[in-house]
Structure 1
Amino acid sequence: MNTIEEQLWNYIDGNFTVEEKIEIEKKITVNIQYHSAYQELLAVHNELNQLDFEEPSMSFTRNVMDKVNLELKPVALKTKIDNRIIYSIGAFFALSIIGIFIYAIATSGASFDFKMPTINFDAGKYINATTIQVFVLVDVALGLLYLDSFLRKRNINAQKKGN
Protein backbone atom coordinates (compact mmCIF):
# COMPACT_ATOMS: atom_id res chain seq x y z
CA MET A 1 0.00 0.00 0.00
CA ASN A 2 1.37 3.40 -0.88
CA THR A 3 1.23 6.49 1.30
CA ILE A 4 -1.77 7.97 -0.55
CA GLU A 5 -3.89 4.90 0.19
CA GLU A 6 -2.70 4.76 3.79
CA GLN A 7 -3.57 8.41 4.30
CA LEU A 8 -6.98 7.97 2.68
CA TRP A 9 -7.79 4.85 4.72
CA ASN A 10 -6.85 6.68 7.91
CA TYR A 11 -9.04 9.59 6.76
CA ILE A 12 -12.00 7.26 6.05
CA ASP A 13 -11.53 5.46 9.39
CA GLY A 14 -11.28 8.78 11.23
CA ASN A 15 -7.82 8.18 12.67
CA PHE A 16 -6.49 11.69 11.96
CA THR A 17 -6.34 14.83 14.05
CA VAL A 18 -8.31 17.89 12.95
CA GLU A 19 -5.28 19.50 11.24
CA GLU A 20 -4.40 16.34 9.31
CA LYS A 21 -8.05 15.87 8.34
CA ILE A 22 -8.22 19.41 6.88
CA GLU A 23 -4.98 18.80 4.97
CA ILE A 24 -6.31 15.56 3.42
CA GLU A 25 -9.61 17.24 2.50
CA LYS A 26 -7.64 19.95 0.65
CA LYS A 27 -5.62 17.29 -1.19
CA ILE A 28 -8.82 15.46 -2.19
CA THR A 29 -10.40 18.62 -3.60
CA VAL A 30 -7.24 19.82 -5.39
CA ASN A 31 -5.46 16.65 -6.54
CA ILE A 32 -7.31 14.41 -9.03
CA GLN A 33 -5.22 11.37 -8.11
CA TYR A 34 -6.23 11.75 -4.44
CA HIS A 35 -9.86 12.29 -5.44
CA SER A 36 -10.07 9.17 -7.64
CA ALA A 37 -8.28 7.01 -5.05
CA TYR A 38 -10.60 8.40 -2.36
CA GLN A 39 -13.70 7.52 -4.39
CA GLU A 40 -12.44 3.95 -4.97
CA LEU A 41 -11.54 3.40 -1.32
CA LEU A 42 -14.83 4.92 -0.17
CA ALA A 43 -16.70 2.48 -2.45
CA VAL A 44 -14.72 -0.44 -1.01
CA HIS A 45 -15.40 0.84 2.52
CA ASN A 46 -19.14 1.03 1.84
CA GLU A 47 -19.17 -2.47 0.34
CA LEU A 48 -17.37 -3.86 3.37
CA ASN A 49 -19.86 -2.19 5.69
CA GLN A 50 -22.80 -3.73 3.80
CA LEU A 51 -21.48 -7.29 4.06
CA ASP A 52 -23.28 -9.61 6.45
CA PHE A 53 -20.85 -11.75 8.33
CA GLU A 54 -21.84 -15.30 9.06
CA GLU A 55 -22.17 -16.10 12.72
CA PRO A 56 -21.65 -19.61 14.03
CA SER A 57 -24.66 -21.47 15.31
CA MET A 58 -25.51 -21.38 18.99
CA SER A 59 -24.23 -24.92 19.52
CA PHE A 60 -20.93 -24.30 17.74
CA THR A 61 -18.92 -23.97 20.94
CA ARG A 62 -20.51 -27.05 22.43
CA ASN A 63 -19.83 -29.08 19.27
CA VAL A 64 -16.20 -27.99 19.22
CA MET A 65 -15.72 -28.81 22.89
CA ASP A 66 -17.35 -32.23 22.38
CA LYS A 67 -14.88 -32.96 19.59
CA VAL A 68 -12.00 -31.81 21.77
CA ASN A 69 -13.16 -34.13 24.55
CA LEU A 70 -13.25 -37.05 22.10
CA GLU A 71 -9.56 -36.55 21.26
CA LEU A 72 -7.18 -38.90 23.01
CA LYS A 73 -5.45 -37.23 25.88
CA PRO A 74 -1.66 -37.36 25.76
CA VAL A 75 -0.08 -39.94 27.98
CA ALA A 76 2.39 -38.74 30.59
CA LEU A 77 5.93 -39.36 29.47
CA LYS A 78 6.97 -41.07 32.68
CA THR A 79 8.56 -44.45 32.35
CA LYS A 80 7.90 -47.11 34.92
CA ILE A 81 11.10 -48.18 36.64
CA ASP A 82 11.21 -51.64 38.14
CA ASN A 83 11.36 -51.36 41.94
CA ARG A 84 13.76 -54.30 42.16
CA ILE A 85 16.43 -52.22 40.43
CA ILE A 86 16.04 -49.38 42.91
CA TYR A 87 16.03 -51.76 45.88
CA SER A 88 19.16 -53.49 44.52
CA ILE A 89 21.03 -50.19 44.19
CA GLY A 90 19.93 -49.15 47.69
CA ALA A 91 20.98 -52.52 49.15
CA PHE A 92 24.39 -52.26 47.47
CA PHE A 93 25.06 -48.84 48.99
CA ALA A 94 23.72 -49.87 52.42
CA LEU A 95 25.94 -52.98 52.46
CA SER A 96 28.91 -50.90 51.32
CA ILE A 97 28.42 -48.42 54.16
CA ILE A 98 27.95 -51.22 56.71
CA GLY A 99 31.09 -52.98 55.40
CA ILE A 100 33.16 -49.81 55.67
CA PHE A 101 31.85 -49.24 59.21
CA ILE A 102 32.69 -52.82 60.28
CA TYR A 103 36.16 -52.55 58.71
CA ALA A 104 36.81 -49.28 60.54
CA ILE A 105 35.80 -50.81 63.88
CA ALA A 106 37.82 -53.99 63.27
CA THR A 107 41.03 -52.17 62.36
CA SER A 108 40.88 -49.60 65.13
CA GLY A 109 42.58 -50.37 68.39
CA ALA A 110 39.98 -48.76 70.59
CA SER A 111 39.38 -50.04 74.06
CA PHE A 112 35.94 -49.89 75.56
CA ASP A 113 36.49 -49.46 79.29
CA PHE A 114 34.50 -46.33 79.97
CA LYS A 115 33.62 -45.11 83.42
CA MET A 116 30.31 -43.44 83.94
CA PRO A 117 30.61 -39.92 85.28
CA THR A 118 28.97 -39.23 88.57
CA ILE A 119 26.35 -36.54 88.62
CA ASN A 120 24.96 -34.98 91.73
CA PHE A 121 21.44 -34.41 90.49
CA ASP A 122 18.59 -34.32 92.94
CA ALA A 123 15.36 -34.71 90.97
CA GLY A 124 13.32 -34.07 94.09
CA LYS A 125 14.24 -30.37 93.99
CA TYR A 126 12.73 -29.91 90.55
CA ILE A 127 9.88 -32.39 90.48
CA ASN A 128 7.30 -31.54 93.10
CA ALA A 129 3.49 -31.63 93.31
CA THR A 130 3.03 -28.36 91.40
CA THR A 131 5.23 -29.52 88.52
CA ILE A 132 3.31 -32.77 88.23
CA GLN A 133 -0.04 -30.95 88.30
CA VAL A 134 1.07 -28.55 85.53
CA PHE A 135 2.36 -31.47 83.48
CA VAL A 136 -0.92 -33.39 83.88
CA LEU A 137 -2.94 -30.25 83.03
CA VAL A 138 -0.98 -29.69 79.81
CA ASP A 139 -1.33 -33.38 78.89
CA VAL A 140 -5.09 -33.31 79.46
CA ALA A 141 -5.46 -30.13 77.38
CA LEU A 142 -3.46 -31.62 74.51
CA GLY A 143 -5.46 -34.83 74.76
CA LEU A 144 -8.73 -32.91 74.58
CA LEU A 145 -7.50 -30.95 71.54
CA TYR A 146 -6.55 -34.19 69.82
CA LEU A 147 -9.90 -35.77 70.68
CA ASP A 148 -11.74 -32.70 69.36
CA SER A 149 -9.88 -32.75 66.04
CA PHE A 150 -10.40 -36.51 65.73
CA LEU A 151 -14.16 -36.20 66.32
CA ARG A 152 -14.43 -33.27 63.90
CA LYS A 153 -12.70 -35.23 61.15
CA ARG A 154 -14.95 -38.20 61.78
CA ASN A 155 -18.03 -35.95 61.71
CA ILE A 156 -16.93 -34.27 58.45
CA ASN A 157 -16.23 -37.65 56.84
CA ALA A 158 -19.66 -38.90 57.92
CA GLN A 159 -21.31 -35.81 56.40
CA LYS A 160 -19.44 -36.30 53.12
CA LYS A 161 -20.55 -39.90 52.92
CA GLY A 162 -24.13 -38.85 53.68
CA ASN A 163 -24.19 -36.35 50.81
Structure 2
Amino acid sequence: MDPLFDNLPPGHEFEEDMELRLWEYIDGLSTDQERSAIEHMLVEHAEWRAKYKELLEVHRGIEEVELEQPSMRFTRNVMDEIARLQIAPATRNYINKNIIYGIAAFFITVIVGFLGYGISQMEWSSTGSDSLVGVDFSSVDYSRMFNNNFVNGFMVLNIILGLMLLDRYLGQRKKEWQAA
Protein backbone atom coordinates (compact mmCIF):
# COMPACT_ATOMS: atom_id res chain seq x y z
CA MET A 1 0.00 0.00 0.00
CA ASP A 2 0.94 3.59 -0.47
CA PRO A 3 2.20 5.49 2.61
CA LEU A 4 -0.56 8.06 2.02
CA PHE A 5 -3.18 5.44 2.87
CA ASP A 6 -1.29 3.82 5.76
CA ASN A 7 -2.65 6.28 8.33
CA LEU A 8 -6.29 5.19 7.92
CA PRO A 9 -7.88 4.23 11.25
CA PRO A 10 -8.55 0.52 11.88
CA GLY A 11 -11.96 -0.60 10.62
CA HIS A 12 -12.13 2.36 8.23
CA GLU A 13 -14.22 1.83 5.16
CA PHE A 14 -11.52 1.85 2.52
CA GLU A 15 -14.02 1.98 -0.34
CA GLU A 16 -15.62 5.19 0.95
CA ASP A 17 -12.19 6.73 1.33
CA MET A 18 -11.24 5.52 -2.14
CA GLU A 19 -14.35 7.13 -3.67
CA LEU A 20 -13.78 10.39 -1.81
CA ARG A 21 -10.13 10.56 -2.90
CA LEU A 22 -11.06 9.73 -6.50
CA TRP A 23 -13.67 12.50 -6.56
CA GLU A 24 -11.08 14.95 -5.26
CA TYR A 25 -8.67 13.70 -7.94
CA ILE A 26 -11.28 14.10 -10.71
CA ASP A 27 -12.31 17.56 -9.48
CA GLY A 28 -8.67 18.64 -9.18
CA LEU A 29 -8.89 19.30 -5.45
CA SER A 30 -6.20 16.86 -4.31
CA THR A 31 -2.64 17.92 -3.45
CA ASP A 32 0.36 16.90 -5.56
CA GLN A 33 1.31 14.17 -3.08
CA GLU A 34 -2.24 12.77 -3.07
CA ARG A 35 -2.41 13.01 -6.86
CA SER A 36 0.78 10.97 -7.30
CA ALA A 37 -0.42 8.40 -4.75
CA ILE A 38 -3.80 8.05 -6.51
CA GLU A 39 -2.10 7.70 -9.91
CA HIS A 40 0.09 4.98 -8.41
CA MET A 41 -3.01 3.20 -7.04
CA LEU A 42 -4.75 3.47 -10.43
CA VAL A 43 -1.80 1.82 -12.15
CA GLU A 44 -1.45 -1.03 -9.65
CA HIS A 45 -5.03 -1.85 -8.55
CA ALA A 46 -7.87 -2.92 -10.85
CA GLU A 47 -10.47 -2.03 -8.22
CA TRP A 48 -9.26 1.59 -8.23
CA ARG A 49 -9.26 1.69 -12.04
CA ALA A 50 -12.84 0.34 -12.21
CA LYS A 51 -14.07 2.81 -9.61
CA TYR A 52 -12.22 5.64 -11.37
CA LYS A 53 -13.84 4.79 -14.72
CA GLU A 54 -17.28 4.64 -13.07
CA LEU A 55 -16.84 8.00 -11.34
CA LEU A 56 -15.40 9.54 -14.50
CA GLU A 57 -18.51 8.48 -16.45
CA VAL A 58 -20.73 10.02 -13.77
CA HIS A 59 -18.65 13.20 -13.89
CA ARG A 60 -18.95 13.43 -17.69
CA GLY A 61 -22.69 12.76 -17.46
CA ILE A 62 -23.08 15.59 -14.97
CA GLU A 63 -21.11 17.94 -17.22
CA GLU A 64 -23.25 17.03 -20.24
CA VAL A 65 -26.54 17.67 -18.48
CA GLU A 66 -27.86 21.01 -19.56
CA LEU A 67 -29.37 23.06 -16.78
CA GLU A 68 -32.89 24.22 -17.38
CA GLN A 69 -33.27 27.96 -17.47
CA PRO A 70 -36.57 29.72 -16.96
CA SER A 71 -37.88 31.89 -19.74
CA MET A 72 -36.98 35.54 -19.82
CA ARG A 73 -40.50 36.46 -18.74
CA PHE A 74 -40.68 33.93 -15.92
CA THR A 75 -40.75 36.48 -13.10
CA ARG A 76 -43.20 38.65 -15.00
CA ASN A 77 -45.49 35.66 -15.62
CA VAL A 78 -45.43 34.71 -11.94
CA MET A 79 -46.24 38.25 -10.83
CA ASP A 80 -49.04 38.50 -13.41
CA GLU A 81 -50.53 35.25 -12.13
CA ILE A 82 -50.38 36.48 -8.54
CA ALA A 83 -52.04 39.75 -9.54
CA ARG A 84 -54.73 37.82 -11.41
CA LEU A 85 -55.64 35.87 -8.30
CA GLN A 86 -56.79 38.46 -5.82
CA ILE A 87 -55.29 37.87 -2.44
CA ALA A 88 -58.07 37.59 0.11
CA PRO A 89 -57.82 40.12 2.94
CA ALA A 90 -57.88 39.00 6.52
CA THR A 91 -61.37 37.83 7.40
CA ARG A 92 -61.15 38.84 11.03
CA ASN A 93 -59.87 41.93 12.78
CA TYR A 94 -56.84 41.29 14.91
CA ILE A 95 -58.00 43.60 17.71
CA ASN A 96 -61.36 43.03 19.29
CA LYS A 97 -63.74 46.00 18.93
CA ASN A 98 -64.75 45.68 22.60
CA ILE A 99 -61.18 46.42 23.64
CA ILE A 100 -61.11 49.57 21.52
CA TYR A 101 -64.46 50.69 22.92
CA GLY A 102 -63.25 49.99 26.47
CA ILE A 103 -60.12 52.10 25.97
CA ALA A 104 -62.18 54.91 24.44
CA ALA A 105 -64.63 54.76 27.36
CA PHE A 106 -61.75 54.97 29.83
CA PHE A 107 -60.29 58.08 28.19
CA ILE A 108 -63.66 59.75 27.88
CA THR A 109 -64.32 59.03 31.57
CA VAL A 110 -60.95 60.52 32.55
CA ILE A 111 -61.53 63.65 30.47
CA VAL A 112 -65.05 64.09 31.84
CA GLY A 113 -63.66 63.58 35.35
CA PHE A 114 -61.08 66.32 34.88
CA LEU A 115 -63.72 68.64 33.47
CA GLY A 116 -66.01 67.84 36.39
CA TYR A 117 -63.23 68.55 38.86
CA GLY A 118 -62.44 71.84 37.13
CA ILE A 119 -66.07 72.91 37.09
CA SER A 120 -66.50 71.94 40.74
CA GLN A 121 -63.74 74.40 41.67
CA MET A 122 -65.76 77.31 40.28
CA GLU A 123 -67.61 79.69 42.47
CA TRP A 124 -71.22 79.59 41.31
CA SER A 125 -72.58 82.59 43.15
CA SER A 126 -74.26 84.95 40.80
CA THR A 127 -72.89 88.41 40.76
CA GLY A 128 -74.14 90.95 38.35
CA SER A 129 -71.29 90.74 35.89
CA ASP A 130 -71.32 91.93 32.34
CA SER A 131 -70.16 88.54 31.07
CA LEU A 132 -72.39 86.83 28.53
CA VAL A 133 -71.45 83.37 29.70
CA GLY A 134 -72.41 83.92 33.29
CA VAL A 135 -69.37 82.02 34.52
CA ASP A 136 -66.25 83.79 35.70
CA PHE A 137 -63.39 81.56 34.63
CA SER A 138 -60.89 83.76 36.43
CA SER A 139 -62.25 82.45 39.73
CA VAL A 140 -61.20 78.86 38.96
CA ASP A 141 -58.18 77.87 41.02
CA TYR A 142 -56.06 76.15 38.39
CA SER A 143 -53.03 75.96 40.65
CA ARG A 144 -54.64 73.27 42.81
CA MET A 145 -55.61 71.22 39.79
CA PHE A 146 -52.54 71.56 37.59
CA ASN A 147 -49.65 71.94 40.01
CA ASN A 148 -48.80 68.23 40.12
CA ASN A 149 -46.39 66.99 37.44
CA PHE A 150 -47.97 63.54 37.53
CA VAL A 151 -51.39 65.00 36.70
CA ASN A 152 -49.90 67.07 33.89
CA GLY A 153 -48.11 64.07 32.43
CA PHE A 154 -51.23 61.96 32.74
CA MET A 155 -53.30 64.56 30.91
CA VAL A 156 -50.74 64.84 28.10
CA LEU A 157 -50.67 61.06 27.77
CA ASN A 158 -54.48 60.95 27.65
CA ILE A 159 -54.59 63.62 24.98
CA ILE A 160 -51.97 61.85 22.84
CA LEU A 161 -53.67 58.48 23.15
CA GLY A 162 -57.05 60.04 22.45
CA LEU A 163 -55.68 61.67 19.30
CA MET A 164 -54.18 58.34 18.21
CA LEU A 165 -57.56 56.67 18.71
CA LEU A 166 -59.25 59.42 16.71
CA ASP A 167 -56.64 59.07 13.95
CA ARG A 168 -57.21 55.33 13.77
CA TYR A 169 -60.96 55.79 13.61
CA LEU A 170 -60.73 58.44 10.89
CA GLY A 171 -58.21 56.34 8.93
CA GLN A 172 -60.57 53.38 9.03
CA ARG A 173 -63.43 55.58 7.85
CA LYS A 174 -61.25 56.87 5.01
CA LYS A 175 -60.44 53.32 3.88
CA GLU A 176 -64.11 52.38 3.95
CA TRP A 177 -64.99 55.51 1.98
CA GLN A 178 -62.29 54.79 -0.65
CA ALA A 179 -63.36 51.16 -0.98
CA ALA A 180 -66.95 52.13 -1.66
Q: TM-score, normalised by structure 2?
A: 0.46
Q: TM-score, normalised by structure 1?
A: 0.50
Of structures 1 and 2, the larger Rg is shown by: 1
